[in-house]
Amino acid sequence: MLFKDCSQIFTLGPQGTFSDEAAQKIRNSGVNVRYTSTFAEALIKVTEDADSVAVVPVENSVAGTIAQVQDSLVSNNLVILGEINLLIEYALLANAELTQVETCYAHPQAYEQSSGFISKNLHQAEGQFTRSNVDSGVRFLEAVASGSKAVAAIVPLSFADDNQQWKCASAIQDYQNNTTRFLVVRLRKATEQPDFSREKTSLLVEFQEDRSGLLYQLLSVFNLFQLNLCRLESRPAKNTPWAYVFYVDFYNSADSEACLEVLRVSNFRCKVLGSYDLIE
């Protein structure tokens, strides 16, 4: 693989997070995993070491895009090398009856992906957001050790299994097929060229002028070459208020390169964020 010789892997810590689980799928013997406090920190660290990679989540099947990561792909000039899909399962730790819980520790993504369970069972509890799902569990255990009588935490199932005495509910995510896409990225090289023989390509599309029919024209080009889009999302352009850019993921074919060339001559600015395969 393109990242098999990386010097180190940056990902959200501490050990045991879903990001760490994804990173372990590409870790070779002798390669260290370096844990960061935020996704943004992992993406900054990888720009400081050209031989390293970062593993970060970009999209959840329930909660949608993680905007911080998506935008950083562009601002930090990174390239996508691969995609990892993980089934995400949450459990609840608590040291009191759920109706008595006053504080619930949770990562924002976990809180959003378990909103149904929270609304039904923990609506009276104050949410305390944490840096990671494992950090939620650590803060819960610290609170219990300090004498707190009515706390809970949303944690990975594996963390709950290691703390069975506090485990009170499993599979609390709103949808049982809750899946997160993780990307493997590194610093873009000056000579970077996309490999359209890979399964997917991710693309940033900017418009040189605002006019009616822009989206229709963009989609018409992909239709012309019969390229199957698997994701299309608009995001605010950072330098111009109320202007937007598009992120497009599509499945490659023999016509991928020709399609992008037509987009360019049609006054669309396109940047290939990476051509890559799914990592099993």
Superfamily (CATH) of domain 1-87+178-188: Periplasmic binding protein-like II (3.40.190.10)
Beta-strand relationship, 126-129 and 103-106: parallel
User: Quick one: tokens of 261?
Assistant: 């060339």
pLDDT tens, residue by residue, 174-187: 999 999 999 999 99
In tens, the pLDDT along 190-216 reads: 999 999 999 999 999 998 777 788 899
Q: Residue 63 carries which DSSP code? A: T
- Judged against a pLDDT cut of 90, whether residue 219 lies above it is answered with yes
**Does residue 112 carry a pLDDT above 50?**
yes
What does residue 235 show for φ and ψ, rounded to 5 degrees? -140, 150
What integer pLDDT is reported at residue 2 of this predicted model?
A: 54
Report residue 156's pLDDT band, with 50, 70 and 90 as the boundaries: very high
pLDDT of residue 144: 97
Asked if residue 78 lies in contact with residue 10, where contact means CB atoms within 8 angstroms, the answer is no
How far, in Å, are 78, 213, 270 from residue 192 at the CA level? 10, 32, 15
Q: Could you state, in order of their start, the residue ranges of all structural domains in the chain?
A: 1-87+178-188, 90-170, 197-280
Indicate whether 244 pLDDT > 90.
no
Contact 172, 96 (CB under 8 A): no
In 3D, which of 47, 45, 10 has the Cα closest to residue 27?
10
105-118: average pLDDT: 96
Q: Which CATH architecture has domain 197-280?
A: 2-Layer Sandwich (3.30)
Residue 54: count of CB within 10 angstroms of its CB: 34
Kindly tell me if the per-residue pLDDT of 110 is higher than 50. yes
Q: Per DSSP, which regions of the chain are E strands?
A: 8-12, 32-36, 53-60, 64-65, 78-87, 90-94, 103-106, 126-129, 151-156, 167-170, 179-187, 200-207, 229-236, 244-251, 268-278
Residue 4 has pLDDT above 70, yes or no: no
Q: Are 90-170 and 197-280 the same fold in CATH? A: no
The pLDDT value recorded for residue 1 is: 46
Domain at 90-170, CATH class = alpha beta
In this prediction, residue 121 carries a pLDDT of 97
For residue range 11-65, list pLDDT tens digits in order. 999 999 999 999 999 998 788 999 999 999 999 999 999 999 999 999 999 989 9
Q: What per-residue confidence (pLDDT) applies to 237?
A: 85
Burial classification of residue 173, based on how many CB atoms lie within 10 Å of its CB (0-12 exposed, 13-18 middle, 19 or more buried): buried
Asked if residues 196 and 206 have their Cβ atoms less than 8 Å apart, the reply is no
Determine the pLDDT at residue 3.
65
Please report the sign of the dihedral spanned by the C-alpha atoms of residue 186, residue 190, residue 196, residue 202. positive
Instruction: State whether residue 122 is helix, strand or coil.
Output: coil
What mean pLDDT value characterizes the chain? 94
> 95 by DSSP, 3-state: which?
coil
